[in-house]
């Protein structure tokens, strides 16, 4: 058997091309009630009154929820009411909810709810939020319940702060002959998964709360419903069928809470709450924004001696996962470079914007935009080749990270090799820019990347294997199939280890928290690592059981047996053996005696040796390994109208052993596409009142078919010793350097520093004007 | 207040006559999903922006969120459930042209209509058709590969005497 590295077709492929794959909202069994939200038209306002009278009289209305106080929620800080009561803090925040027989009736009634608001001054970006006289988004910040390692500052808009203090800054600056300083800014944007979020809830007569949700974290839903609403944890059952794209946005628990409350109000009947696209963009959590300042100091030879960083994340109105995002950014704040002296303050700021969920890359594409743009500035000032500067400072085994973790050959990938490979692919030596006539310039921008996954130090994953009478195996894992193909990869790992046909492995696609073993969350590119290890352990377990039964039947020691090709046989004489199918359900001797029974295997893997980051210095081990890579973007820029086309995008990433080549390339390419879309066109347009002006896919417009560049994806392989067959995470890395590489390419092409996102022609025009270029059209 | 009136109608879906009660204001997408149990066409925006709801009406690609069910009376409706092992489905599978699969029925129905209308579509034509759908997971390059592989086959078949 040889399944590692093969482009095995995903297990659910035919279901997905024939319309049979079921997503949460596809359940339309009769009798389901439908909920509809009423959301705030203001970014910050006091709620003066809510009148629900008319709504409750609409035909078919079963419940109306408004003005009632529910327990505060939030993963790091409990600062968020599921439905706003006294005050709304962002445009689109849920204020009331109607449950009715049909979606139309629910909408009709929702439109009749009258809410009177008194507008309050808004905090419209994180820099404003930090000012002394800024309005406070949470006056009661000091009174909220919170996790131990979050550090809000009551009386300010700071929801969390993480400090990195490594080395000696004075020394670092003293050794620096050249310094650069740059400022960056971009607003929140959206995940825009094609499937809008949907949650359903039913409360059975025995009190079981059954939730079906398009979620990346069903086990977290179970835990939080229990914690917030005091339902016995065993009574919460969460099911997740296929998920139509997550990218981190479905790892936050939000809609599920409302579906639960709606269901309770409707006497436990099954209620469906499906976001419209506008609600999915406005009301549900979004992609975080950032204002940043970066200072780098280096010797004239380009050896970086000091880095000072200030990150002000736009966490929005509630801290939820944003507090964590700002911490993860601090942990990898320097980018993949070996810098001895580092000072970083990473703040999660409250603003009156939609609040943030994790987003593919968990704040890394954001921080890397700031770092990698500054690296280009430094290279320019030094008069040094941009890739050479990166190569010289590239992080390597033997170096330490900003949080002072020593790196070795296994826990960090091979960045210099990635840079060398990238250099060849993009014909770097031909120059970064070329005038191709007709007022057009071709320019190349590069970016290096790295990431570790700052995840809970006890995150784990379990796997159960059960046999069928024909010797085939059912594989149950709590991983959600959000599109990454991880469940297929798990089948490959199992087939490889058991040396059996992959067609004999049946992977359960849906997750049910009652019958599927727990997998922490399907995020952070950790799926293959955690669940892969669990699969191997479960495989060992069934192999041991098979050998035990076979040893009785074959009258041989279990240790003399081997399992492979659907058989258990004597190692030194394969002709003596028994088919797995004959013992998968135990074995019956000719005289009727039976031994064993259905073979059930289990495996589990927990992260180990992770530590919390120190409050004052940041020292600690936040994640198991650092993946690295180097990326480039080539643009064709029109000097007259400042428009451009993205011609080519290249990624060379070290994801360790590649388990499924086409699937891995697809992951990287898809992430690159998302990164280019974020870098070039995606942002919320806020008006002066903090309202989002573009909450539809025609005004919030992701990249489309004809705009895709040529993608080149190449791998450098440094196996991670710890992981199943040496595979590192792959789901996020493609996105990480795309905004930065695009920014670098366009800054070269346009001849001005572009430090904001998205990089629209209008932005380029504004910057050119500010820099005193006469009219760009001439 | 009372419920809206509904009317009985027969729709021709995937070569079957299906009796259904519908309101004049119901979109085709709503009727397919909620009344006929055909959940292959997906809601993504209900606004014509994303293409996830694409079906074929008399062989042409239509966004079923933009069409009233009553407009489809006496027309041939084909949804993803009506395609059985077509070359374009096969090509999507082989080219890894999807990940989460949510946009896939819409993309395939759009490609299917295009390949029937313009079997040897050139790159510009393909772009013109496929720009009406959004895929958030792939880089589109895989979808391009799948579609082009069929166009190429069509061209070869035509050249053959
Ligand atoms: S749902 Fe019809 S185009 Fe988006
Ligand atoms: S495959 Fe997920 S949106 Fe296209």
How confident is the model over A533-554, as a mean pLDDT? 95
A277-290 pLDDT tens trace = 999 999 999 999 99
A430-446 pLDDT tens trace = 999 999 999 999 999 99
Q: CB of A195 within 8 A of CB of B105?
A: no
Q: CB of A400 within 8 A of CB of A342?
A: no
Distance from the CA of A670 to the center of ligand 2, in angstroms? Answer: 9
Alpha-carbon dihedral sign for residues A303, A307, A313, A319? positive
Partner B contacted by A460 (CB < 8 A): no
Q: What is the pLDDT of residue A521?
A: 67
Q: What is the pLDDT of residue A571?
A: 93
Partner A contacted by B156 (CB < 8 A): no
Q: What is the pLDDT of residue A353?
A: 98
Q: CB of A580 within 8 A of CB of A437?
A: no
Question: Percent of chain A, pLDDT > 90?
Answer: 85
Surface of B (90-109) touching A: CB under 8 A: 92-94, 96, 98-105, 108
Q: What is the pLDDT of residue A485?
A: 83
Place of tokens 């919320």: A684
Partner A contacted by B8 (CB < 8 A): no
Using a 6 Å CB cutoff, which residues line ligand 1?
Answer: B 43-53, 63, 65
Per-residue HEC secondary structure of A230-294 comes to CCCHHHEEEEECECCCCCCCCCCCCHHHHHHHHHHHCCCCCEEEECCHHHHHHCCCEECEEEEEE
Helix axes A527-554, A486-498, angle to 10 degrees: 30
Q: What is the pLDDT of residue B1?
A: 43
Give A51's strand partners: A114
Q: What is the pLDDT of residue A214?
A: 96
Distance from the CA of A703 to the center of ligand 2, in angstroms? Answer: 13
Question: To which H or E segment does residue A650 belong?
Answer: strand A644-654
A399-434 pLDDT tens trace = 999 999 999 988 899 999 999 999 999 999 999 999
Rounded distance, CA B109 to CA A313, Å? Answer: 42
Domains plus CATH for chain A?
A: 13-22+32-118+197-274 (3.90.1170.50), 286-394+403-455+611-770 (3.30.365.10), 460-606 (3.30.365.10)
Query: Cβ contact (<8 Å) for B130 and A194?
Result: no
Q: Which token pair is B124?
A: 């510009």
DSSP assignments along B69-112, one per residue: GGGGTTSEEE-GGG--S-HHHHHHHHTT--SS-SSHHHHHHHHH
B16-29 pLDDT tens trace = 999 999 999 999 99
Distance from the CA of B115 to the center of ligand 2, in angstroms? Answer: 21
Q: CB of A416 within 8 A of CB of A396?
A: yes
Confidence at A522, pLDDT banded by 50, 70, 90: low
CA dist list (Å): A50 to A65, A108, A177, A481, B20? 10, 17, 63, 41, 39
* Burial class of A762 by CB neighbour count within 10 A (0 to 12, 13 to 18, 19+): exposed
Q: CB of A746 within 8 A of CB of A757?
A: no
Q: What is the mean pLDDT of chain B?
A: 95
Q: What is the pLDDT of residue A757?
A: 98
Rounded distance, CA B136 to CA A74, Å? Answer: 28
- Strand A710-715 to strand A45-51: parallel, antiparallel, or no bridges (unpaired)? unpaired
Q: What is the pLDDT of residue A524?
A: 57
A222-243 pLDDT tens trace = 999 999 999 999 999 999 999 9
Place of tokens 């990287």: A668
The contacts of residue A302 (CB under 8 Å, 6+ apart) are A378, A379, A382, A384, A388, A389, A392, A393
DSSP assignments along A27-93, one per residue: ---TT-EEEEEEE-SSSSEEEEEEE-HHHHTSTTEEEEEES-----B-SSB--B-SS-SSEE-STT-
The pTM of the full predicted model, rounded to 2 decimals, is 0.96
B33-90 pLDDT tens trace = 999 999 999 999 999 999 999 999 999 999 999 999 999 999 999 999 999 999 999 9
A313-324 pLDDT tens trace = 999 999 999 999
How confident is the model over A47-63, as a mean pLDDT? 97
Q: Which of A452-461, A650-659, A740-749 has the lowest mean pLDDT?
A: A452-461
Q: What is the pLDDT of residue A112?
A: 98
Question: To which H or E segment does residue A736 belong?
Answer: helix A733-736
Q: How far apart are the two ends of chain B, measured CA to CA in Å?
A: 68
Q: CB of A714 within 8 A of CB of A655?
A: no
The contacts of residue A217 (CB under 8 Å, 6+ apart) are A250, A251, A252, A253, A521, A522, A523
Q: What is the mean pLDDT of chain A?
A: 94
Q: Which of A28-32, A149-153, A386-390 has the lowest mean pLDDT?
A: A28-32
Nearest ligand, measured from the Cα of A192: 2
Surface of A (189-218) touching B: CB under 8 A: 192-196
Selecting from B49, B140, B142 the residue whose C-beta is nearest the C-beta of A698 gives B49
At A509, is the secondary structure helix, strand, or coil?
coil
Rounded distance, CA B13 to CA B22, Å? Answer: 15
Partner B contacted by A106 (CB < 8 A): no
Q: Which of A261-265, A577-581, A590-594, B43-47 has the lowest mean pLDDT?
A: A590-594
Rounded distance, CA A398 to CA A409, Å? Answer: 8
Residue of chain A with shortest Cα separation from B26 = A104
- Strand A271-274 to strand A33-39: parallel, antiparallel, or no bridges (unpaired)? parallel
B113-125 pLDDT tens trace = 999 999 999 999 9
More confident: A771 or A369: A369
DSSP assignments along A651-710, one per residue: EEEE-BS-SBHHHHHHHHHHHHHHHHHHHHT----B-TTS-BS--STTTS----GGG--E
Q: What is the pLDDT of residue A776?
A: 46
Q: What is the pLDDT of residue A608?
A: 73
Q: Which token pair is A210?
A: 């059954």
A322-351 pLDDT tens trace = 999 999 999 999 999 999 999 999 999 999
- Strand A473-477 to strand A460-467: parallel, antiparallel, or no bridges (unpaired)? antiparallel
Longest CA–CA span in chain A (Å) reads 98
Domains plus CATH for chain B?
A: 7-79 (3.10.20.30), 87-159 (1.10.150.120)
At A136, is the secondary structure helix, strand, or coil?
coil
Rounded distance, CA A44 to CA A370, Å? Answer: 30
Question: To which H or E segment does residue A545 belong?
Answer: helix A527-554
Neighbouring CB atoms inside 10 A of A173's CB total 15
Query: Between vectors from CA A297 to CA A292 and to CA A302, what angle results, nearest 5°?
Result: 120
The contacts of residue B161 (CB under 8 Å, 6+ apart) are none
For residue A320, give the nearest of A257, A233, A254 by alpha carbon.
Answer: A254
ω before A309 within 30° of 0 (cis)?
no
Partner B contacted by A19 (CB < 8 A): yes
B101-110 pLDDT tens trace = 999 999 999 9
More confident: A5 or A38: A38
Query: Cβ contact (<8 Å) for B104 and A17?
Result: yes
* Burial class of B8 by CB neighbour count within 10 A (0 to 12, 13 to 18, 19+): exposed
Per-residue HEC secondary structure of A140-178 comes to CHHHCCECCCCCCECCCCEEEEEEEEECCHHHHHHHCCE
A181-226 pLDDT tens trace = 999 999 999 999 999 999 999 999 999 999 999 999 999 999 999 9
CA A236 to chain CA mean position, Å: 25
Per-residue HEC secondary structure of B20-55 comes to EEECCCCEHHHHHHHHCCCCCCCCCCCCCCCCCCEE
Neighbouring CB atoms inside 10 A of B10's CB total 11
Neighbouring CB atoms inside 10 A of A404's CB total 18
Question: Percent of chain A, pLDDT > 70?
Answer: 98
Q: What is the ipTM of this complex?
A: 0.97
Confidence at A725, pLDDT banded by 50, 70, 90: confident
- Strand A710-715 to strand A644-654: parallel, antiparallel, or no bridges (unpaired)? parallel
Longest CA–CA span in chain B (Å) reads 68
Rounded distance, CA A451 to CA A34, Å? Answer: 41
Give the mutation target among B30, B32, B39, B50 for probing the ligand 1 site: most ligand atoms within 8 A of CB. B50
The contacts of residue A610 (CB under 8 Å, 6+ apart) are A455, A457, A621, A622, A623, A624
Q: Which token pair is A365?
A: 């594409």
Q: What is the pLDDT of residue A723?
A: 79
């Amino acid at each position: 058997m040889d399944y590692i590295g093969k482009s095995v077709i995903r297990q659910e492929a035919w279901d997905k091309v024939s319309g049979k794959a079921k997503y949460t909202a596809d359940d339309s069994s009769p009798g389901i009630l439908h909920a509809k939200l009423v959301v705030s038209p203001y970014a910050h306002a006091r709620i003066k009154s809510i009148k629900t009278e008319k709504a409750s009289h609409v035909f078919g209305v079963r419940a109306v929820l408004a003005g009632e106080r529910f327990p505060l929620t939030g993963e790091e800080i409990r600062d968020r009411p599921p439905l706003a009561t006294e005050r709304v803090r962002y445009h689109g925040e849920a204020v009331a909810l109607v449950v009715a027989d049909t979606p139309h009736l629910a909408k009709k009634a929702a439109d009749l709810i009258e809410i009177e608001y008194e507008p309050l001054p808004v905090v419209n970006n994180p820099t404003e939020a930090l000012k002394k006289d800024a309005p406070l988004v949470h006056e009661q910040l000091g009174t909220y319940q919170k996790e131990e390692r979050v550090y809000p500052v009551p009386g300010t808009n700071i929801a969390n702060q993480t400090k990195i203090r490594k080395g000696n800054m004075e020394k670092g600056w003293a050794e620096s002959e050249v310094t650069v300083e740059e400022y960056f800014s971009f607003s929140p944007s959206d995940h825009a998964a094609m499937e809008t979020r949907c949650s359903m809830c039913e409360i059975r007569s025995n009190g079981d709360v059954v939730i079906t949700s398009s979620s990346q974290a069903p086990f977290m839903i179970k835990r939080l419903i229990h914690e917030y609403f005091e339902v016995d944890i065993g009574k919460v059952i969460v099911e997740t069928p296929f998920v139509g794209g997550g990218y981190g946005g479905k790892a936050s628990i939000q809609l599920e809470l409302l579906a639960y409350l709606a269901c309770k109000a409707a006497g436990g009947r099954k209620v469906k709450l499906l976001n419209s696209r506008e609600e999915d963009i406005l009301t549900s959590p979004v992609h975080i924004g950032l204002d940043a300042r970066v200072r780098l100091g280096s010797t004239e030879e380009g050896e970086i001696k000091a880095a000072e960083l200030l990150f002000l994340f736009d966490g929005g109105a509630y801290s939820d996962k944003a507090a964590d995002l700002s911490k993860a950014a601090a942990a990898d704040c320097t980018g993949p470079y070996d810098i001895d002296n580092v000072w970083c303050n990473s703040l999660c700021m409250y603003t009156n914007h939609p609040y943030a969920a994790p987003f593919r890359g968990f704040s890394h594409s954001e921080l890397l935009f700031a770092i990698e743009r500054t690296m280009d500035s430094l290279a320019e000032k030094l008069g040094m080749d941009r890739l050479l500067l990166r190569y010289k400072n590239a992080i390597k085994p033997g170096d330490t990270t900003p949080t002072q973790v020593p790196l070795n050959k296994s826990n960090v990938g091979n960045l210099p090799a990635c840079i060398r490979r990238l250099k060849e692919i993009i014909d770097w030596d031909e120059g970064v820019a070329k005038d191709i006539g007709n007022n057009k310039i071709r320019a190349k921008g590069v970016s290096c990347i790295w990431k570790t996954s700052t995840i809970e130090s006890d995150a784990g994953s379990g796997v159960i294997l059960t046999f069928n009478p024909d010797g085939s195996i059912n594989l149950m894992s709590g991983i959600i199939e959000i599109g990454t193909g991880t469940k297929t990869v798990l089948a490959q790992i199992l087939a490889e280890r058991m040396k059996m046909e992959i067609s004999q492995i049946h992977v359960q696609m849906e997750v049910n928290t009652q019958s599927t073993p727990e997998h922490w969350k399907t995020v952070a590119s950790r799926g293959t690592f955690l669940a892969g290890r669990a699969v191997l352990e479960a495989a060992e377990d069934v192999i041991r059981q098979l050998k035990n039964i076979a040893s009785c039947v074959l009258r041989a020691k279990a240790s003399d047996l081997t399992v492979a090709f659907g058989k258990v046989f004597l190692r030194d004489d394969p002709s003596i053996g028994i088919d797995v199918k004959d013992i998968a359900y135990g074995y019956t001797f000719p005289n009727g005696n039976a031994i064993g029974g259905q073979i059930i295997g289990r495996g589990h893997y927990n992260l180990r040796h992770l530590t919390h980051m120190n409050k004052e210095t940041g020292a600690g081990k936040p994640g198991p390994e650092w993946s690295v890579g180097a990326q480039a973007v080539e643009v064709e820029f029109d000097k007259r109208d400042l428009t451009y086309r993205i011609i080519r995008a290249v990624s060379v990433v070290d994801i360790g052993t590649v388990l499924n080549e086409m699937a891995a390339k697809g992951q990287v390419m898809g992430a690159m596409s998302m990164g280019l879309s974020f870098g070039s066109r995606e942002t919320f347009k806020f008006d002066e009142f903090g309202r989002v002006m573009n909450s539809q896919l025609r005004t919030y417009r992701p990249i489309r078919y004809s705009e895709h560049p040529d993608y080149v994806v190449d791998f450098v392989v440094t196996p991670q010793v710890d992981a199943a067959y040496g595979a590192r995470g792959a789901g996020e890395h493609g996105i990480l350097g795309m905004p930065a590489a695009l920014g670098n390419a366009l800054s070269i092409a346009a001849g001005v520093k572009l430090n904001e996102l998205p990089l629209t022609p209008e932005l380029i025009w504004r910057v050119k004007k500010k820099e005193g270029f006469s009219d760009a059209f001439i | 207040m009372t419920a809206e009136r509904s009317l009985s109608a027969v729709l021709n879906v995937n070569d079957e006559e299906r009796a259904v009660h519908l309101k004049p204001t119901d979109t085709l997408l709503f009727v397919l999903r909620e009344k006929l149990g055909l959940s292959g066409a997906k809601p993504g925006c209900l606004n014509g922006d994303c293409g996830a709801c694409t079906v074929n009406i008399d062989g042409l690609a239509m966004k079923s969120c933009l069409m009233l069910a009553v407009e489809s009376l006496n027309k041939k409706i084909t949804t993803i459930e009506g395609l059985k092992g077509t070359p374009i489905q096969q090509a999507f599978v082989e080219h890894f042209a999807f990940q989460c699969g949510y946009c896939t029925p819409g993309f395939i129905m759009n490609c299917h209509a295009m390949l029937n209308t313009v079997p040897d579509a050139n790159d510009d034509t393909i772009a013109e058709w496929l720009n009406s759908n959004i895929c958030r997971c792939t880089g589109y390059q895989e979808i391009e590969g799948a579609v082009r592989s069929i166009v190429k086959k069509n061209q070869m078949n035509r050249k053959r005497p």
